Amino acid sequence: MIDKKSFCGAPWHILRVKSRGNFAVCCQHKQTEESELYVTDTTIDEWRNSEFMTTLRQEYLDGKFPDACSRCYTEEASGKLTIRNKVNANYVKWDQLDTYTADSPANLREIQIDLGNLCNLKCMTCKPNLSTQVLQDWKKLGWMHNQDRKPYYLSSVDMQRAHLDFYMDEGFLESFRKNIAGVTNLRFLGGEPFMNPKICDFMNSVSDEQAAEMTLLITTNGTVWNDDVIASASRFKRILLNISIDGTGSLIEYVRKNTVWEAMSANIDRYMQLPEKFSFSAVLTSSVYNVIHTGDITRYMRERWPRPKVVINRVFYPEYLSPANLPDDLKTIALENIEQEKRQRSDSYPHMVWLRTELNSLAKQIKQTEFDPKRWEQMIDYTKKLDELRGVKFPDLVPEFAKYF
């Protein structure tokens, strides 16, 4: 029997293609071997009607909480609005639940595509399947296929089967065109979409008539401006740019290596001059590296750029980079910094109520998480190895961590 508390419409209404060219349920779903089907040898229809998807849909119809979907349930427990909440609110027809069956996918409403790993940055929390720059560093460190040099705690990334340039496959583009009818939301992530050579081909595959009724979302690191992408995007009814801002000044230049903050912030100023049909989210991905400055970062963003809504995402995997796994002294600093921002009043920032909700959710997770010394040591080891390669030292930027390094 369907349970609205556990039900999610994503297996019916969402299509996601991840950076390695493999299909997925959504951005939060934990990938398993049985769901490893690739766009280079599987059509969109074949994926949506696969045994894996049919089984997953049946689990939801039976009122179960699928293990692979645990991240949404975890975030909801801390009060955060999740992908499941959004899908259910926007796409699920609650008065027609009797038409939802395991073997008959409902109308596809949203397509999400991670456009490979072509990227100009190498973020501390990133993986080689999402950044060509991170891939180069992992190869230099011997972390890709050399088990003797790869740290035991480092989560593996199956790059042997990856098709990182899947977006160049004309067969997939044709499959995309055949399935775009009825889709109301189109999302591009990366890598860095503004660098991708094929993103305009996908956008231009949508007719002018359909684009005029469709929402387009692009997640960008904010360091790249592309006139062609802006022009193609402008055909859509509504365009949302998610701009990743994980710090300011030297902190973001560390967390998102290769960023030049002065140039990036000037680029964001330029984005803010786009017409009203463009809307923005300033996305802070909270991790161990920036969590004690959460309030400082959000305050800077809302004061300089009041137009975007500030969204706080969190690193869940790998667990050792979680913003919530902190020793008591750093946990106190992080919570005080968040609390100071929550107390601020702002007549010029229209999203302050939303921001307080985001801050409350992060604070709740920090308070509820028990410190894990083993994962803390893993974080230190991982950080030292990357710092040595990149010629930087994290404690020099965030001295509160110095005694642990």
- Dump the DSSP string for 309-334: EEEEEE--SSGGG-TT---HHHHHHH
Say if residue 58's pLDDT is above 70: yes
pLDDT number for residue 212: 96
Number of H helices, E strands in the chain: 17, 10
Helices (H), 234-293: 249-255, 261-271
The average confidence (pLDDT) of the chain is 90
Amino acid, res. 195: M
d(CA 70, CA 67): 5
- Per-residue pLDDT band for 354 (boundaries 50, 70, 90) equals very high
- Per-residue pLDDT band for 153 (boundaries 50, 70, 90) equals confident
The CB-side HSE value for 348 (13 A sphere, CA atoms) comes to 8
- Per-residue pLDDT band for 6 (boundaries 50, 70, 90) equals confident
pLDDT number for residue 144: 85
Q: What crossing angle do the helices spanning 132-141 and 373-390 adopt, rounded to 10°?
A: 100
Mean pLDDT of 175-193: 93
d(CA 318, CA 379): 9
Q: What is the DSSP letter of 66?
A: -
Say if residue 246's pLDDT is above 90: yes
- Per-residue pLDDT band for 48 (boundaries 50, 70, 90) equals confident
pLDDT number for residue 135: 93
Mean pLDDT of 391-398: 97
Say if residue 339's pLDDT is above 80: yes
Residues 6+ away with beta carbon under 8 Å from 69: 8, 25, 28, 29, 30, 84
pLDDT number for residue 146: 66
Q: What would the CATH number be for the domain defined by 115-404?
A: 3.20.20
d(CA 89, CA 393): 44
**More confident call, 71 vs 378:** 378
Residues 6+ away with beta carbon under 8 Å from 267: 222, 223, 224, 225
- Per-residue pLDDT band for 348 (boundaries 50, 70, 90) equals confident
Amino acid, res. 187: R
Cα dihedral 17, 158, 197, 14, rounded to 10, equals 10
d(CA 7, CA 3): 6
Q: Determine if residue 258 is left, alpha or beta; phi over 0 gives left, psi from -120 to 50 gives alpha, anything else beta.
A: left
Q: Which tokens in the block code for residue 274? A: 């786009």
Identify whether the C-beta of residue 114 lies closer than 8 Å to the C-beta of residue 18.
yes
Q: Give domain limits for the chain.
A: 10-108, 115-404
In the three-class reduction of DSSP (H, G, I as helix; E, B as strand; rest coil), residue 56 is classed as: helix
- Per-residue pLDDT band for 61 (boundaries 50, 70, 90) equals confident
pLDDT number for residue 321: 97
Proportion of the chain above pLDDT 70, given as a percent: 97
Return phi, psi of residue 238, to 5°: -140, 135
pLDDT number for residue 106: 67
Cis upstream peptide for 128 (omega within 30°): no
Residue in this structure with the two tokens 């696969």, named with its chain if needed:
50
Mean pLDDT of 70-89: 74
pLDDT number for residue 156: 67
**More confident call, 178 vs 2:** 178
pLDDT number for residue 282: 97
Q: Which tokens in the block code for residue 264? A: 């990036």
d(CA 353, CA 41): 47
Identify whether the C-beta of residue 121 lies closer than 8 Å to the C-beta of residue 219.
no
d(CA 90, CA 74): 21
Mean pLDDT of 167-173: 90
- Per-residue pLDDT band for 147 (boundaries 50, 70, 90) equals low
